[in-house]
Amino acid sequence: MSSGNDELVRSDNPDHPANLIPSLCAKFWTLGWVTGTGGGASIRDGDLVYLAPSGVQKELMKPSDLYSDGPIRPASRVYLRSPPVFKPSQCTPLFLSAFTRKGARCCIHTHSPYAVLVTLILEQQGKGKDKEFRINNIEQIKGFARGYPHGEVGNLGYHDTLRIPIIENTAHEEDLTEFLEDAMDRYPDAYAVLVRRHGVYVWGNSVEQAKGQCESLDYLFHLAVEMQKLGIPWMSEIEPTLPTRSLKD
């Protein structure tokens, strides 16, 4: 059972999680990431977690539609604050994994068609054996933190290879949790996991980082799909271009 605690989702600050989740989701809807009530987003603020509910029209979500809970713990049937209408999202345990295992502050789940197409292309090519999306030598790769969550080591470089693990989809979204956590363990630097024929989970040390990485990733997925149509490989061997002055030095 949920108590009231409606004050948890009431704030005049547009950067409060209860206001940010609706404004982010409305933006994601226009990008085609959370169409048909798919996808979702969650923000952690200290020990408190804010979650979009299941089945909400993402471009019309209101702060009062949100769940809030804390201190962080495995998803239960009891929340500090529940909306009057909706049910909890099946994404909840996956968002919590990002918070507890990776120390993330924000986790975004999209059904981006480009994410799904990338997993389909790899499945088609690799007979289902290819469990990783790889791309290098594209400037936008710099949009990703290296060795998350240790932000101090900076972002990936242009010549680095971005690797995103792919897990197979399950009949029930919550059953993805252990596979997601396994991928997190195998890719300790991961900030995203693709789900075959489903979409992508992306997280970050802050809302800005999670959103920025989600945008950069979708840009790269879009590019990868177009490269595939044009017969251009995703991985390339390019020698670093040395600036003349470093030759002089």
Residue 249 found at the interface with a copy of itself (CB under 8 A): no
Q: In this structure, how many other beta carbons lie within 10 angstroms of the beta carbon of residue 182?
A: 13
Residue given tokens 């993330």 in the structure block: 104
To the query of whether residue 139 is one of the catalytic residues in this protein, the response is: yes
Instruction: Report H helices in 11-140.
Output: 17-30, 92-102, 113-126
Q: For the CB of residue 78, give the shortest distance to a copy of itself in the complex, in Å.
A: 22
Q: CB nearer to a copy of itself: give 20 or 51.
A: 20
172 is in an annotated binding site: no
Q: By three-state DSSP, how is residue 223 classified?
A: helix
> Under the criterion CB under 8 A, does residue 232 sit at the interface with a copy of itself?
yes
Handedness of CA 93, 99, 102, 107 (dihedral sign): positive
Please select the residue that binds a copy of itself; options are 1, 4, 241, 249, rule is CB under 8 A.
241
Examine residue 47 and tell whether it contacts a copy of itself (CB under 8 A). no
Smallest gap from residue 223 Cβ to a copy of itself (A): 5
Single out the residue of 4, 13, 46, 171 in contact with a copy of itself (rule: CB under 8 A). Answer: 171
Do the Cβ atoms of 161 and 79 come closer than 8 Å? Answer: no
Count residues near a copy of itself (CB under 8 A): 60
> Of the candidates 9, 102, 111, 191, which one interacts with a copy of itself according to CB under 8 A?
111
121 contacts a copy of itself (rule: CB under 8 A): yes
Task: Identify the H or E element spanning 68.
Answer: strand 67-69
Residues contacting residue 45 through CB under 8 Å, at least 6 positions apart: 17, 105
| Residue 111 marked in a binding site | yes
227 binds a copy of itself (CB under 8 A): yes
Strand ranges across the sheet with 199-204: 67-69, 48-51, 40-45, 106-110, 199-204, 192-195, 161-167, 132-136
Give CA separation, 193 vs 51, 125, 133, in Å: 19, 19, 10
Residue 198 found at the interface with a copy of itself (CB under 8 A): yes
Block residue for tokens 């289902």? 128
- Options 5-13, 61-69, 96-104, 168-176: segment touching a copy of itself (CB under 8 A): 168-176
Residue ranges of the binding site for Zn(2+) = 109, 111, 198
Give the catalytic positions in this structure: 139
**Residues contributing to the site for a copy of itself (CB under 8 A):** 32, 35-38, 55, 57, 111, 113, 116-117, 120-121, 124, 137-140, 143, 157-159, 168-171, 173, 175, 178-179, 195, 197-199, 208, 211-216, 218-219, 222-223, 225-232, 238, 240-241, 243-246
